[in-house]
Structure 1
Amino acid sequence: MDMTTDGRYRVLGRPRDPDELLLISVDDDGDHPLDAYEPTYVDTGSTDGDVADAVEELQAGMLVDATLEWTDSDPQFVAVDVVAETVFEFYDGVTGLFEAAKETWMVAEGDNAPMHGRVTKSTDGEPNGALYVFAKQSGAQDLFEEFRNGMRPLEPLIRRADEGESVPPEPEQPRAVFVLRPADEPFLVVYVVFRRDGVLIKTMRSTYG
């Protein structure tokens, strides 16, 4: 018996198969916070018509409302609407890391903390991003890949901007989220840029992309 479900999801791209899109559920009623960010791999190879065209345009980072049809436990898209055209960008082995990230890591080190965050501001003094640094993990754990494949959700970091900063909510002002793994620093950077179409995102891309 087929079943359809409606939900809000974060698109993470196609890490396993070009005909399979990874979605992370961001529906959270507060009752089951540990289950709020469940991954779902959705088959796109058999989707057709207008839905297929819409699915083809989805990129990592986008926030979407989707209806999924479950057949033999394998979901397919029935409908999809983009809520926010946020983008995720992952850069490995970066050099010349910006000073704000280094300063944020120095605070984490001084507090003997595994992570630290701060709000960055433009030259006009307006909040333009939320910056987080995480200590690189030893052994098999790879934070960079965990953020990229959804094992460690970026969603809580994005939501803090909606809840704590005087910036328009994401559906009104899509974000740009950069995950940087420096080549010569002992930490990982997650930078939630508040405006996808602002000057800061252009600077980040031209410097590290």
Structure 2
Amino acid sequence: MRILENLGTSERAQTCSKAYFQDVSDQLTMKMKILSFCHSSRASSPLPGFIVFFLTLYGHKMESAKFTVIGHQDPITAIVGQEAVLPCHLSPPMSAANMEVRWFRSQFLSIVHLYRNGKDQYEGQMPEYRGRTELLKAGLTNGNIPLRILNIRRSDEGQYHCFVEEDTFYKETVLELRVAGQWLVSVLSLCVPVALFFPITVTVTPCLQIILQ
């Protein structure tokens, strides 16, 4: 009986041992299959490559879009009736041909001059600047975007914003324009005859000149 009992115990142990090793083998096989699937997915799926491409392109785009807008620290002085040029440029130098360049006064929609989509836009321009502004484009591809104002008026005096936008990135700077009046000079002559009595009578006519400015 003990011999049979020992034989039964030995068979059960062998069975359990086989089951254990089979279970371990199955787990290893499953893990290998999973790893193989993940590896093949990474190799065949275009998603990781697309993500890398997108991040590279986006990073390059953000890097290339970084710029500052530089104006003039000191006030620009102009004379009534003449013209003024308000300097503005991008740093580092880059083309502004495909950017939006907006010159405005105190409010964003108070447009003095607008350049967008590769051309000047006059629809929203303030009436008092109609026909008097020009964005100088000689240095546009180098980031130079000065504004010329013709026939300066007293009302043109004040601050001007130079605003530049590319996609969702934008910068601006503020300049000040001071307007001086013309010196109007006129000469008024007053001539009064005066008689001087000597042994002979002499009449002279001195003239007094008054200069009005």
TM-score normalised to the size of structure 2? 0.22
Which has more radius of gyration? 2
Richer in helix (by share):
2
Structure with greater proportional strand content: 1
